[in-house]
Amino acid sequence: MTTISHLPARYDAAGLDSLLDDLAGVAARGEVPGPDLLTRVTDALPELATMAADPNDGEPYSRTILRVDEVEIMLARWRPGQRCAPHDHGGAGGFVIVLQGGFEERRFDWDGPRLTVTTSTEHHTGEVTSITSDVIHDMAGLDGGLTLHFYSPPATSMRVFDLDRSEMLELVGNYGAWIPREPHPRVPFAQISPEMLAAPVIWVAHTTHYRGGSAEFAVAAATMARELAAVHPDAEVIVSGLHGKADFIEQLTRLTEEGREIDQLHLISHSGMYGPMFGSTDWPEQFSPHEWRSMTIPFTASGRAYFHACRTARWFAPFFANVFGVSAFGNRNYTTVSTRKDRFSWAGRRPASRTDLYLIDTPGRKSHGLLGAARKYLGAAANPPLLSTPD
């Protein structure tokens, strides 16, 4: 924490008190000062310069608080060539007047989980830059200099951003826009960027090669994605075609690195001894129980997993629920493609040409013999997926 110089609330040298009143009124209205006020600021420079303290060692500028009432007024003397950290203003808006010297101001915006420079502008003596409540910026005094800051309403906290570590520090109290020397809680950018916070992920994945059926799986995945997006408008529905295990890991890694959280995982596939199958019939792939246990899947607190594959309710869904601590759903019997999701309806000889397809759990020849096949083609009802919860 820095030491801040405080001056009396009313200091009227050469009309300075009246000038600050007028400037504060402009800030409170969300405006910027015009030429007449800026001329008065120039005339008051000698008085303002005597008030500004020198920066402390290791800090890019000093903070001299002139007022804190409806508007915070702060005077800063800058160390030559030093840049402050990117920061916001705790929800406040206002403006900064360059009293003396030249400054580079950079403005930032979020690009996924990254904070990137969007503009870079030089400001010189007598110029003003407007600050809105959503601005994230930094400044550098090219050769030192003085700036006069107005913020309304006065902020009780601010966020500073450590670009080297991609972390945010929320500073409460009398801090400046730099990384404090003392230890302070940090939050990764991936957890605070607006895009990441706005949209939990519903991930609909389907295999593309194993035992054929890939075209039907793709249609079923697209159907599921459309319906889920309609029911969950605040979520981002992502559809992924997966050839091998590596594709599953690659997509999972990307979501994790971007700080995304999965609210629903749907996997449309065939299944084998250890659960979902990947790869091809000639080169089949499965994750072993050890590989599943070694994964990190970033579920939300209410996350769920659905395995739209044969017999996944018998072993794999309970196993997955215990490993990842989420509710998991699986099918008891064999699955089949249907044009209806409530009961079996034959998709014809070209199922992939259909607009809507569903993978459902019904009796069939493999699970119930010829009688099961007859029941299926007579329109057997789909069995609901079975829920497994963590032990």
Q: What is the DSSP string of 155-197?
A: PSEEEEEETTTTEEEEEESS--SS--SS----EEGGGT-HHHH
* 342/383 Cα distance (integer angstroms): 8
Taking a C-beta distance cutoff of 8 angstroms, is the pair 171, 157 a contact? yes
Q: Mark the binding-site residues for Fe cation, compressed into ranges.
A: 87, 89, 137
* 64/347 Cα distance (integer angstroms): 75
Predicted confidence at residue 4, as pLDDT, reads 47
Predicted confidence at residue 197, as pLDDT, reads 60
Please tell me whether the peptide bond between 153 and the residue prior to it is cis, using omega within 30 degrees of 0.
yes
State yes or no: pLDDT of 36 exceeds 90.
yes
Least confident of 200-209, 287-296, 303-312, 376-385: 376-385
Predicted confidence at residue 156, as pLDDT, reads 83
Q: Rg for the chain (alpha carbons), in Å?
A: 31
Evaluate the CA torsion angle 246, 247, 252, 258 in order and state its sign: positive
| Spatial CB neighbours of 227, under 8 Å, sequence gap ≥ 6 | none
Predicted confidence at residue 8, as pLDDT, reads 41
CA atoms in the 13 A half-sphere facing the CB of 367 = 15
Question: Mean pLDDT across the chain, nearest whole number?
Answer: 90
Residue 255: φ, ψ to 5°: -60, -40
Q: What is the dihedral angle through the alpha carbons of 252, 258, 261, 262, rounded to the nearest 10 degrees?
A: -30
42: enclosing H helix or E strand: helix 35-43
Q: Mark the binding-site residues, compressed into ranges.
A: 87, 89, 137
State yes or no: pLDDT of 315 exceeds 80.
yes
Least confident of 45-54, 119-128, 247-256: 247-256
Whats the size of the chain, residue-wise? 391
Span 175-207, pLDDT tens digits = 999 999 998 889 999 888 876 565 899 999 999
Q: Which residue has the tokens 């969007």?
A: 118
Span 222-263, pLDDT tens digits = 999 999 999 998 899 999 999 999 999 999 998 888 888 999
Q: What's the average model confidence in pLDDT over 57-84?
A: 96
DSSP state for residue 22 in the 8-state scheme: H
Tokens standing for 80?
Answer: 């030559």
Taking a C-beta distance cutoff of 8 angstroms, is the pair 87, 115 a contact? no
Report the candidate in 272, 267, 284 with the shortest Cα–Cα distance to residue 205.
Answer: 267
